[in-house]
A and B are shown apart, each in its own frame.
Chain A
Amino acid sequence: MTIRTLMSTAAALTALAGPALADINIGASISETGPAAFLGDPEAKTLRMEVEKINAEGGIIGEPINLIMYDDGGDPNKARTFATRLVEDDEVVAVIGGTTTGTTMAMVPVYEDAEIPFISLAGAVEIIEPVKEFVFKTPHTDRMACEKIFEDMAARGFSRIGMISGSDGFGKSMQAQCKDVAEASGVEIVADEVYGPQDADMTPQLTNIKGSGAEAILNSGMGQGPAVVTRNHTQLAIDAPLYQSHGVASKQFIELAGSEAAEGVRLPAAALLVADQLAEDDPQKPVVVGYRDGYESETGEDVSTFGGHAYDALYILKAAIESAGSTEPAAIRDAIEATSGFVGTAGEVNFSGDDHLGLTLDAFEMLEIKDGNWTIVE
């Protein structure tokens, strides 16, 4: 009947778009649209661009990659369905993706059940803690960002800090992590405010933080909210310096906030943003410069660390398949876990049985915005 017809149409259409069977099927479920689109968009573009590049250079162990990428729109339920589709229908050997923590966590049970290695591009620490056998991730955790920021605050002598967080997954997760590690890092959170990701004005929240006597302010959030917070921070002439999170690590943030308002804002981020400022002998330099130049010339857009996460995931996977010499999911998983000394855009990755993130705090640079540009804080 009609349902059947549609089903088989769907199957036929997928088959049409589908691969020759010898290819290496790599799956991806990315939030190309929806509230996390500005993260997912560069991720998807990076994956397409880099897969094309790898295939042009002869693929992995002689086989071309067939990238099967779905747009989950940031909806975890949809992501979950695509996960099943990737596993059952597309028969992928590994999956990259999960732009957000929500979509990632929704997919995890599927890949764990099917024993397919999965490299997430989302931030929260719960993705890899506790360690799940088949789940890895490339971005630094929000907990690490908190620690890096608090470390810098403590070094500058700030102990009373105010937090203002986005109410989306990223903001809330980081807010919780920061509150968790605050005491151990020697800072006290004296104000804790929240805003909606689409809010136009955060002066009430910042006014309250200003009144709380906070010596520094941390904004955990991604998207357009942090730009508004930064402008409002300047508008209210708040003396306490503003810290942003790694969630705004793209040039776009400075444009949105305006270089005047963004002046002096600090944030922890990967070296990708300051590729040119890295020392010539820095092992990361060729990687980040290469990726940045490739991305910017291909898309005409500024590079962001989000696309970098996808880049890292793809090349970790490539290296793992090569070292495993096999496209068996279990073998790939073992090879991923054995990754060591991999230099990506986020830093040096060393996975192990009890660490599926593989990055240390050193991988973060503390950046400060000066004259509309990122500089490394020494």
Chain B
Amino acid sequence: MPELLQFLFSGLTVGAVYALVALGFTIIYNASDVVNFAQGEFVMLGGMITVFAHAAGLPLLLAAGIAIAATAVIGVALNKLAIEPARGAPVVSLIIITIGASIFLRGVASLVFDKQIHRFPAFSGDAPFRIGGATILPQSLWVIAGGVAVFIALWLFFTRTLTGKAVLATSNNRLAAQLVGINTNWVMTLSFALSAAIGALAGVLATPITNTSYDVGIALALKGFAAAMLGGMGNPKGALVGGILLGILEALTAGYLSSQYKDAAAFIVILLVLFIMPQGLFGARQTERV
């Protein structure tokens, strides 16, 4: 049993990181129907800016705050410069634009920062908690707490606040949203800022566990995207569940079956789920309108 518990802890830790990335995907998708493949770069920026600000002598908390704010600004810039001008483009063009953005941001990061791997200390030390023969690091709890907190905040945002409902309305029908007086430009700006900030927060929380470097974004975006699709794109609940599920799946496969094929197992499950539920676990079913 301690093994199982350890595997679950591992899965939770990793899954919470995926979930945070997936949650970032959710907001932009909800506002604009764009899956932002540069989401992983937001995570990278969160980690890297914190590392370098911290190394420059700022206290960790302040460095993290700066990283999140700066990434949010970059997110807004991405929207204004690349996504807004391409509105209405087909899915495949949007995929290429956001992948282009991710390559661009990675290139900038490698120049502004460096190509080395970095880390900053865990918030509450590295002494693990021991529960039932298994262990979990305090930083893992930070990540999990971060994931849950962002989820709750988003859930409240989308269901309880007027602004959140405006975001959803914009995604449903942009024109109609404009007609009822929603400033859709502002909604887009807000969504990208929020999304980027959540990505950066993920980077800040996860870096003590995952380490960071200019190119960590690729793998994170891939897993986060997969998690979001598994859960059903656009649904915060789907992002959270999809992320955690993916993490646990990988950990259990590594623990019980084969660590070689743990990533393969994750993708096989995603494929199977999509075959049975083409909109993911919690995605909205769409009926064809003709």
Instruction: Please give the residue numbers on chain A whose beta carbons come within 8 Å of chain B beta carbons, in ascending order.
Output: 32-35, 37-38, 41, 167, 193-196, 198-201, 203-205, 207-208, 211, 223-224, 227-228, 231, 234-237, 252, 255-256, 258, 260-261, 301
Contacts and interface: CB of A to CB of B under 8 A. Distances in A.
Instruction: Indicate the member of B6, B116, B135 with the most A CB atoms within 10 Å.
Output: B116
A33 B115 contact: yes
A31 to B, nearest CB: 10
Contacts of B209: 200-201, 228
B287 interface: no
B126 interface: yes
A235 B213 contact: no
Contacts of A234: 126
Contact of A200 (B13, B114, B116, B214): B13
B194 interface: no
B233 to A, nearest CB: 23
Instruction: Indicate the member of B10, B13, B259 with the most A CB atoms within 10 Å.
Output: B259
Contacts of A204: 6-7, 10, 251-252, 254-255, 259
A41 B115 contact: yes
A207 B7 contact: yes
Given A208-B3, A211-B3, 8 more contacts: A34-B215, A38-B117, A194-B260, A203-B6, A204-B259, A224-B211, A231-B137, A256-B118
Contacts of A34: 215
Interface in B206-233: 206, 209-211, 213-216, 219-220
Instruction: Indicate the member of A33, A200, A258 with the most B CB atoms within 10 Å.
Output: A200
Nearest to A41: B115
B3 A207 contact: yes
Given A200-B14, A201-B209, A236 B119 contact: no
A233 to B, nearest CB: 11
Contacts of A37: 110, 115, 213-215
A223 B117 contact: yes
B263 interface: yes
A235 B116 contact: no
B158 interface: no
B128 interface: yes
Contacts of A167: 260
B117 A194 contact: no
Interface in B247-268: 251-252, 254-255, 259-260, 262-263
B259 A231 contact: no
A35 B114 contact: no
6 contacts: A194-B259, A198-B210, A198-B219, A200-B13, A227-B117, A236-B128
Given A194-B260, A195-B259, A235 B211 contact: no
A235 to B, nearest CB: 5
Contacts of A256: 117-119, 211
B260 A231 contact: no
Contacts of A237: 128, 135
A227 B254 contact: no
Interface in B11-45: 13-14, 17
Nearest to B263: A196
Instruction: Indicate the member of B9, B115, B260 with the most A CB atoms within 10 Å.
Output: B115
Contact of B254 (A32, A35, A205, A261): A205
A193 B261 CA distance: 11
Nearest to B106: A33
Contacts of A260: 126
Given A200-B206, A201-B209, A260-B126, A224 B117 contact: yes
Contacts of A199: 14
Given A193-B259, A224-B213, A252 B116 contact: yes
A252 B118 CA distance: 8
A194 B261 CA distance: 9
Instruction: Indicate the member of A41, A207, A234, A237 with the most B CB atoms within 10 Å.
Output: A207
B126 A228 contact: no
Contact of A261 (B14, B126, B263): B126
A32 B115 contact: yes
Contacts of B211: 224, 227-228, 256
